[in-house]
Structure 1
Amino acid sequence: MPANRLPASPARQATLAKLRPSRIESVLHRIAVSPHGSLGLVVRAGEDASLSRPGDLPPEVVAAFDTSFVSGLVMLASSRWQSLVAAWPAEFPYFRDYARQYFTALCRQYSPSVKKWSAIAPPDQATAEELLQSAPPMLGLEYLSPSRLQELWQELDTHTRSAARQHAEGLAGYLKSLDPDWNLIGRVTLHLAENKKNPAAPFAFMATYTQGQTKDGTPQHLPLSDALRQSITAKDATKLDQLLEPVSRAARSCKLVDRLLESRKLFTPQAWGIGQAYEFLSSIPAMEQAGIVVRVPNWWNASRPPRPQVSVKLGSKAPSRFGVDGLDLQVGVAVDGEPLDAAELSQLLAARERLVLLRGKWIQVDQDQLQSALRHWQDLRKQHLKGVDFLQAMRLLSGASIGDAGDEEDLNRWARVEPGEWLQQTLQALREPSTSNEIDPESVVEATLRHYQIDGVHWLWFATQLGLGVCLADDMGLGKTLQVISLIALRKRHQASTRDDAAPCLIVVPTSLLGNWQREFAKFAPQLRIFVAHRSVSSTEELKRVETDPTKQLADVDAVLVTYGMIRNAAWLRKLTWRLMILDEAQAIKSPNAAQTKAIKNVPANCRMVMTGTPIENHLQDLWSLFDFCSPGLLGSAADFNRFVSSKDEHRRAQRLASLRKLIRPYVLRRMKTDPRIVPDLPAKTEMRVDCGLTAAQVTLYRRVMEDLEDALETAAGIQRRGLVLATLMQLKQICNHPSLYLKRPQFVAKESGKFAELGRLCEGINEKQEKVIVFSQFQSMCEPLSQFLTEVFGRPGLVLTGKTSAKARGKLVNEFQEPFGPPFFVISVKAGGTGLNLTEACHVIHFDRWWNPAVEDQATDRAFRIGQKRNVLVHKFVTSGTLEERIDDLIRSKRQVSRDMFDDSGEVNLTEMSDDQLLRFISLDLTKATST
């Protein structure tokens, strides 16, 4: 980024300065929503192309956003940036349009000459929800809500009111300073009213302008002819020309206004027929765009004019076999939900005008479009005499015409597709699982489930019983694993009662989560028989028997655990049709052309589901790949989907995003830790172990140090032996972190460390959610390499605190981190920052290496988990599998059951008192665990 584009904010200047190295290909400003709902401008590097387009902000716009988010929106709304905004990331045009809606509403409601004006009412709940549904992917989109959009409107109104009071010329002057055209908006109003006394000319037209205000403070409307007379009397057309500027603009794009202005009929009331009235109503968007206020009868809404629509109902009756015989499809024509009889339909189709008086109401009719839409749906019904399957029904309900021709998409505007009684009840059960009492999840697991987890199991049960492929997308820490285990236990009970002999469930997980799934199964559902198809758990002989005859060997198994890394070479997985196939951390298949993804999609299963804790709508191509696995065909082909979401027309793209969200809604369950309904049910702190592997380089070094210790122990004794053991343990811990830490090399290559791989995977999800993280290491020399790596992951720099950080700098770093849009991560050495810091902006704590003293780790964790923390804190403890780290962790976990001589007086694990044989066995390398994929 050129130096002259640096914003005024010192914090952002520092961010940009740190992002300048050549490894960062691009730097862009983005609008982000924080977990608290704050809106702000942030800097991102190496952006995903699906989220943004080329181009960055001019310095004036960045400076406005630095003042406040609302100040930035006000600047965006000005026509000065109209031609540039389209090239910026999609959220900028979205918020620009929202701000312009506010100013348009302001100018329509009040004249700039009015000195006192009340608040401009924000969009109602339904409108705000529609606006949210059409929002483009953006950072933290899941934290944007209808109520937050309404608050933003009020913030715009408060800002404008304050700025207008401070301006010498009041509101008019302020608007003019922002955009020369705005102070003219709202001065001219064109009125259309019904004239029921004249059937030949049932409409009346009149033009007015605002001049001053009445005693109650509302604008005073005068006939536009008065302004014409005043101009003639004063022999000065300047004021009239200025007043008519919006009309002149409208005339350039609207033939009706051009004729009215040219003929001067604009200045006299007119009696209009149906054709003239319809032309006026159809021209409303162009007139309003030019700055003219339009007043029409309440029955007309320019964005949703009253019109007859083909009424389509899907699934009124329960199908005999779900997804086989299909859902019934009924077709008719209705107005405002009221069905028309044959005579009324004939009247509409025979009418010559585009406005027709029916049942005492004027409605818009496009006979050709209505006829085409009716024919389209009648043909569709004939093609599906045996019914429509659920997947197609969802696409029809959502209006997401993925893969359809453009004219077919237009036809959908003349149709209203609704679920029938049975389908409505089914969708209601998917939307509100808490209403179900069909099952009792707590009866099959040894756990007390929280209310939202019970709801989740109900939802999973109902969806999978219907055969739907779904996505459990709860926030990290809400217990997705427990919910899935409960589902499998319920299915086992159901299988026993129905004598179902289907194959077991297949669960595909990252290697780092394999141990966690084993522990969770053993803890919560010990009655389930689990086979771990992995050489770190099962013997070579067991694996060979399963590969040879999986049907026989797995006959009594309830679930099989495998890792992503082994899918491609495990041909035996494709010999069975699995009862249920589950992908944990399903973003692993986000690349549809990857060999691993293709292999996974080729495994046969009766039903499929995915689990992910990251927002799935922010990367649309990833979304397609996930649903291509769990509900193939729902989102069409990759090419069709890409065309569908890549429309260059902003309005059409917004409509398509809204229909896409409606389409996938029944298939996705996502609850967030910030949801007020969930917060009271959350534990204050959740600890989880993250199992990490070793790279080849780490294995080589680990073995070498082990061999050196074995040789040295033959002659070492007493204090020398104790020092030798302590030094070796420290070296092994360094190797588990990164080879460069042990070798004292300046370069830390990420791919050389298993922990770096897990750190990147974990922090990608944290970054997606706009959350913050503290990373602790006991090695001061580890902190800067971690910071450099995390800068790549987050796309912006974070903070580092070590023993070298001065007391004054510590306070500054803490304040910077505590800002809502401050640095996303804080790397801290345990000794330097384990106490005395208040970092409640973080809701994740990562112990990159272990202190081996639980009390010290807890003290460090409490930097985030303390008074002022309003969210659940997730503590991730990294442990390298098959090494001394895993055995130390097991010791700490079972401290109350082991001999006290394994811990010293401070509570730290004490290994120096072990015999040589005990020590060597304890720190030995289990290669199958450490290097398995």
Structure 2
Amino acid sequence: MAILHGIWVHQPPRAGLFLWGETWRQVAKRRKRSEAPAPHPYVQQPAELSPRLAAQFPQIPLSLLVPETLALQLPATVENVVYSASIAPEGKLLELEPWLVEGFWLDGHQAFELLLGVPLGGGDASIGDDLRFWSQCARWVLDLLVRAKYLPDLESGDGQEIPTARWVPLLDSAVDQARLKEFAARLPGACRAATPELSPHQILKSFLSAMLDARVRTLLACEPPDPRTLPAGAVRPWLLALAHAQPQLKSPDPETPALAEALATWRAPLSYQVRSRTCFRLQPPEESQGEWKLHFLLQTGDDPDSLMAAQQVWSSAGELQEVFLAGLGLASRIFVPVERGLLVPQPTCCTMSTVEAFQFLKAATWRLRDSGFGVLLPESLADAGSLRNRLGLKLEANAPGRNGSGLGMQSLLAFKWELSLAGKTLSRAEFDRLAASSEPLVKVNDNWVELRPQDVRAAHSFLQSRKDQVGLSLEDVLRLNFGDTPKIDGLPIVNFDSSGPIQQLLETLTDQRKLTPIDEPPGFKGTLRPYQKIGVGWLAFLQKWGLGACLADDMGLGKTVELIAFLLFLKSKNELDGPILLICPTSVMGNWEREIKKFSPSLSVHVHHGARRPKGRNFVETAQKKQIIVSSYALVQRDSKDLKRVEWLGLVLDEAQNIKNPDAKQTQSIRELTARFRIALTGTPVENRLAELWSILDFLNPGYLGARNFFQRRFAVPIEKYGDRSSANALKALVQPFILRRLKSDPQIIQDLPEKQETNVFCPLTPEQAALYERVVNESLAKIEQSTGIQRRGTVLATLVKLKQICNHPSHYLGDDGPLANRSGKLSRLGEMLEEVLADEERALIFTQFAEWGHLLQAHLSRQLGSEVFFLYGGTSKNQREAMIERFQSDPQGPRIFILSLKAGGVGLNLTRANHVFHFDRWWNPAVENQATDRVFRIGQTKNVQVYKYVCTGTLEERINALIESKKALAEQVVSAGENWLSDLNTDQLRQLLVLDRSEIIDTEDTA
């Protein structure tokens, strides 16, 4: 995957965006430097770059783009230039050095169209930081256009004989000045690669001017001015050039210098704030009925605290006085009462009524600031959107007479309420007196605050309809505590206090460090790590309050173990008084059954699947006798009526991203089920869109994030489309209490994890696999009974190979060209787990014994995951082998999935960039498998390694795995010869080993 770069180049009289691509490749180290710039070794040729540009930016006609070569100053070591996405090499000195880069040159119009098509989010690693930065600046240009922050100008610099007409940005407001300073501070170093001699401010202003000029000309081209209506003289060609694609005036005019001088005079009042800025400070009256004063000040330099009072200005140099008066004159056009202060020789302030002061706050303040003036307001009036100084309700939660058990999101809590304004509690008489004054600004506790008419009306309505108590649900309390602003009858809640259990709930949800870890409960066969004990405590805490929980730990951290320990904890408290429905993908149903039996044999479990599954009353009776019912997503819709007949204690969703589509029938069927608590397990709570997060949270705590269309307007669109940080922070505050997300990279997690974790992944056979498996077993046993010696041994080994192929996939055994999806339990589970690996931006190795299966797997995974997948086998040439290894290890954007033939890739390789190892088919030799795992688990590995060994349930794979696990030390000696030891078994022993347990077959379609 190539990285697309964009560098703004200001080379008078030409300016434009230089677009080039950088792709990683294996390059030879450069031994010596030459004086002339060397070609960039990672550059993507224009012929390679064109197809990507055509696909990603169809609005740019590629036929108009001209390939060019540019010398860029890029960081390099002694050996070579540094690939931009690579980690800086340790211990090596980096220096800027010129490199020749081929790319495309875009003029202002083309660049603007392209930059608006660059996604704002930072998730696409194929977009360079420099190009993404200029895309953000292009949005700033749009903002300037909308606010009409641009002026016409006449430029005659840069050694040109013929002057040019230009549209230039007007950065006079405090907002734009602050933005200019911010953007200049975070300008990526790559943006200066073409013009390192220019400052960030110079490069930014060049970009803004060129983009704005190009955009205004594009808009004017739709309705060009009629030459007949334009005045004569130098103004005429200047005005025509402002609307023309060619900015240069056709010929010099003797009157042009006079025009330039007139323009400079015309613009002078608008550019005074470059040197200093006129400011205004609003001073409230001491008494409620006094006059307001608007003091005139002058700010010098960039420091907002360097203010001069008007008296100081009048006693200083004449130039400051001129700037000060010019600013006051312009401000008087925006806010008329300023004129009253200008009636004296040396103005210092103007007086206003309360109504005028209110108009200044609401209408004039933002206009003055947008025009470059400074405005200083009293603290109580400065934050117009704050609830702190508004009229509203002050609530105090009455602690319920219980510890929270049995409550839920919709449970009503009792509160005491009081009217409050600016932190002062108001009696009914005080409120009536303030409301009767009809003043928009009132004085409370020595502070002046706004009294909004809509708040007064809402308070009147509330007082007329309410009694001494007000009822709010626990959901309202949580929203209020975590940043939302609920209202009662339109009256905002401006202050909230709590005590007792409610306070404990809010404090614990806010700070998960206050959770009480839960040790291994009675009956748990295993050891919980410290972070897992916290996870169990978190699940128990939310269950006590009737709140849904999303356990979103990284893959491999033990979500399964934490849930099993939590259920045993409920049992130890005699609270497991009903069945738990656990819904999961079909591919992991058998895995759940085995994990439950392994860690908690005292819990009774029933796997609900297959054509012979109990239905109707039989299912209800079965559910009431068992503590855990395991079923699949596909079955929920089909067996919806039966599932609804059971009173479930808990509803657990494994791989909860399966309900990310709220419109899917299976999602709707799940949402219709009732349970006293709900839990979602997922390693990827958000895969692509925030709507997926809403679907999971709305399942857990219905209504908490609002209706779907409200969530889309309030959070999804602002965050996904516009990158709104305040909305993102508000959403994070709301959902964080209900999502426990721990990463393997967290410091406290790393120290809890072993360096290498090995996990058996049990996968069911599909009906197609089972039919093939049984047919091969029956035919082979018949041949084995009739053969002896070498022939018998060969038949046994051939049978094992066939059964392994069937366990991998029917197509592996049959050699057909049919689709691979949904025909193999192993393959389905592998795809699900690899999606989590990629979501965590990690890398994985997949080992198989069969080269033909590796080819099929490579093609399938490339399509399913939408990314390149490597495959190394015996037929791979030496050069191909080295190139793949080098790219996997060194290319930051290279393929993250590497399939290896066990014979070709099991030894002699160093692939420490991966930290996940999948043994898709088993060699049944622990030493060989460990040797393959050591391609990752070796010196140079910086992460904990996760090893997954796939086993098909009910087959010879499960029985041999059980033998190896139960006698591991012996197995490493006895089984070290590979599979040959199996050929020495007699026919009855082979039959017991090979025969299929049909109860383990799971139909992926769950047909009735």
Fold shared by both chains (TM-score > 0.5): yes
Ranked by relative contact order (alpha carbons within 8 Å, sequence separation 6 or more), the top structure is: 1
- 1:823 pairs with one of 895, 912, 918: 895
- 2:585 pairs with one of 506, 510, 516: 510
- 2:446 pairs with one of 348, 356, 360: 360
The one-letter amino acid of 2:839's match is: E
CA distance change for structure 1 residues 172 and 580 in 2, over 3 Å: closer, same or farther? closer
CA distance change for structure 1 residues 164 and 770 in 2, over 3 Å: closer, same or farther? closer
Distance of 2:461 and 2:785 partners within structure 1: 88
Instruction: Give the Å deviation of 1:671.
Output: 2.2
Instruction: Give the Å deviation of 1:390.
Output: 1.9
Instruction: Give the Å deviation of 1:204.
Output: 0.8
Deviation string, structure 1 residues 408-450 (Cα, Å, up to 9, x no partner): 7996877455655542211223344553559654455233322
The one-letter amino acid of 1:755's match is: K
Give the conservation status (yes or no) of the 8 Å contact 1:817–1:824. yes
List gaps (5 residues or longer) in structure 2: 6-18, 25-41, 59-84, 88-112, 146-170, 213-269
Alignment of 1:437-456 (within 5 A): 437=516, 440-443=519-522, 445-456=524-535
Give the conservation status (yes or no) of the 8 Å contact 2:822–2:828. yes
The one-letter amino acid of 1:202's match is: K
Give the conservation status (yes or no) of the 8 Å contact 1:698–1:752. yes
Instruction: Give the Å deviation of 1:584.
Output: 1.8
Instruction: Give the Å deviation of 1:160.
Output: 7.4
Alignment partner of 1:525 is 2:593: no
Alignment of 1:391-410 (within 5 A): 391-398=475-482
- 2:962 pairs with one of 890, 894, 901: 890
Distance of 1:494 and 1:927 partners within structure 2: 37
The one-letter amino acid of 1:75's match is: W
User: Which structure's residues are more often helix, by fraction?
Assistant: 1
Alignment of 1:684-695 (within 5 A): 684-695=755-766
Instruction: Give the Å deviation of 1:109.
Output: 6.9
CA distance change for structure 1 residues 783 and 293 in 2, over 3 Å: closer, same or farther? farther
Deviation string, structure 1 residues 598-645 (Cα, Å, up to 9, x no partner): 433344422222222213485333333334433333344445544554
- 2:407 pairs with one of 314, 322, 325: 322
Instruction: Give the Å deviation of 1:258.
Output: 9.5
Alignment of 1:271-282 (within 5 A): 271-273=350-352, 278-282=358-362
1:189 matched residue in structure 2? 277
1:757 matched residue in structure 2? 828
The one-letter amino acid of 2:477's match is: A
Give the conservation status (yes or no) of the 8 Å contact 1:164–1:170. no
2:927 matched residue in structure 1? 855
Distance of 2:119 and 2:659 partners within structure 1: 41
Instruction: Give the Å deviation of 1:480.
Output: 1.7
Alignment of 1:401-550 (within 5 A): 415-417=494-496, 419=498, 422-432=501-511, 434-437=513-516, 440-443=519-522, 445-495=524-574, 502-534=577-609, 544=614, 548-549=617-618
Alignment partner of 1:734 is 2:805: yes
- 2:471 pairs with one of 387, 400, 403: 387
Deviation string, structure 1 residues 348-381 (Cα, Å, up to 9, x no partner): 5455554444333343x14213224535766896
Alignment of 1:63-74 (within 5 A): 70-74=129-133
Deviation string, structure 1 residues 795-829 (Cα, Å, up to 9, x no partner): 33243333344445445434533455443322333
TM-score (norm 1): 0.73
Distance of 1:329 and 1:62 partners within structure 2: 43
RMSD: 5.5
CA distance change for structure 1 residues 275 and 470 in 2, over 3 Å: closer, same or farther? same
SS in 2 for 1:597: helix
Distance of 2:398 and 2:582 partners within structure 1: 36
Distance of 1:533 and 1:110 partners within structure 2: 60
Instruction: Give the Å deviation of 1:890.
Output: 2.3
913-922 vs 452-461, greater mean Cα deviation: 913-922
Instruction: Give the Å deviation of 1:481.
Output: 1.8
Alignment partner of 1:77 is 2:136: yes
List gaps (5 residues or longer) in structure 1: 29-33, 37-53, 87-101, 113-119, 121-152, 234-238
Alignment of 1:2-13 (within 5 A): 8-11=21-24
2:204 matched residue in structure 1? 175
2:840 matched residue in structure 1? 769
Instruction: Give the Å deviation of 1:463.
Output: 1.7
Instruction: Give the Å deviation of 1:836.
Output: 3.9
Instruction: Give the Å deviation of 1:8.
Output: 0.4
Instruction: Give the Å deviation of 1:64.
Output: 15
The one-letter amino acid of 2:901's match is: S
Give the conservation status (yes or no) of the 8 Å contact 1:475–1:673. yes
CA distance change for structure 1 residues 810 and 492 in 2, over 3 Å: closer, same or farther? same
SS in 1 for 2:871: strand
The one-letter amino acid of 2:807's match is: C
Percent identical pairs in the alignment equals 31
Alignment of 1:685-724 (within 5 A): 685-724=756-795
Distance of 1:77 and 1:876 partners within structure 2: 43
Give the conservation status (yes or no) of the 8 Å contact 2:281–2:295. yes
Distance of 1:703 and 1:325 partners within structure 2: 56
479-488 vs 774-783, greater mean Cα deviation: 774-783
CA distance change for structure 1 residues 13 and 582 in 2, over 3 Å: closer, same or farther? farther
The one-letter amino acid of 1:192's match is: F
Instruction: Give the Å deviation of 1:929.
Output: 1.5
CA distance change for structure 1 residues 19 and 67 in 2, over 3 Å: closer, same or farther? closer
The one-letter amino acid of 1:76's match is: S
1:50 matched residue in structure 2? none
Which one has a bigger Cα radius of gyration? Answer: 2
Give the conservation status (yes or no) of the 8 Å contact 1:331–1:377. no
Give the conservation status (yes or no) of the 8 Å contact 1:738–1:748. no
2:246 matched residue in structure 1? none
Give the conservation status (yes or no) of the 8 Å contact 2:417–2:469. no
CA distance change for structure 1 residues 103 and 838 in 2, over 3 Å: closer, same or farther? farther
- 1:873 pairs with one of 945, 961, 966: 945
CA distance change for structure 1 residues 801 and 554 in 2, over 3 Å: closer, same or farther? closer
Distance of 1:671 and 1:513 partners within structure 2: 22
The one-letter amino acid of 2:963's match is: L
SS in 2 for 1:580: strand
2:255 matched residue in structure 1? none
Give the conservation status (yes or no) of the 8 Å contact 1:514–1:563. yes
Distance of 1:838 and 1:526 partners within structure 2: 41
SS in 1 for 2:683: coil
223-232 vs 852-861, greater mean Cα deviation: 223-232
1:597 matched residue in structure 2? 667
Give the length in aligned residue pairs.
823
Distance of 2:874 and 2:57 partners within structure 1: 32
Alignment partner of 1:558 is 2:627: yes
User: Which structure's residues are more often strand, by fraction?
Assistant: 2
CA distance change for structure 1 residues 381 and 578 in 2, over 3 Å: closer, same or farther? farther
Deviation string, structure 1 residues 217-260 (Cα, Å, up to 9, x no partner): 99999999999976999xxxxx999x99xx99xx9xx9737997
Give the conservation status (yes or no) of the 8 Å contact 2:620–2:642. no
698-707 vs 848-857, greater mean Cα deviation: 698-707
655-664 vs 778-787, greater mean Cα deviation: 655-664
Distance of 1:694 and 1:18 partners within structure 2: 44
SS in 1 for 2:666: helix
Instruction: Give the Å deviation of 1:327.
Output: 0.9
Deviation string, structure 1 residues 564-621 (Cα, Å, up to 9, x no partner): 3443454544332122222222223333343433433344422222222213485333
Deviation string, structure 1 residues 666-695 (Cα, Å, up to 9, x no partner): 333222222223221122222222233334
Instruction: Give the Å deviation of 1:55.
Output: 9.7
TM-score (norm 2): 0.68
Distance of 1:620 and 1:285 partners within structure 2: 33
Give the conservation status (yes or no) of the 8 Å contact 1:210–1:221. no
Give the conservation status (yes or no) of the 8 Å contact 1:190–1:295. no
Alignment of 1:31-42 (within 5 A): none
SS in 2 for 1:614: coil
CA distance change for structure 1 residues 111 and 779 in 2, over 3 Å: closer, same or farther? closer
1:834 matched residue in structure 2? 906
SS in 1 for 2:459: helix
The one-letter amino acid of 1:175's match is: L
CA distance change for structure 1 residues 705 and 81 in 2, over 3 Å: closer, same or farther? farther
SS in 2 for 1:687: strand
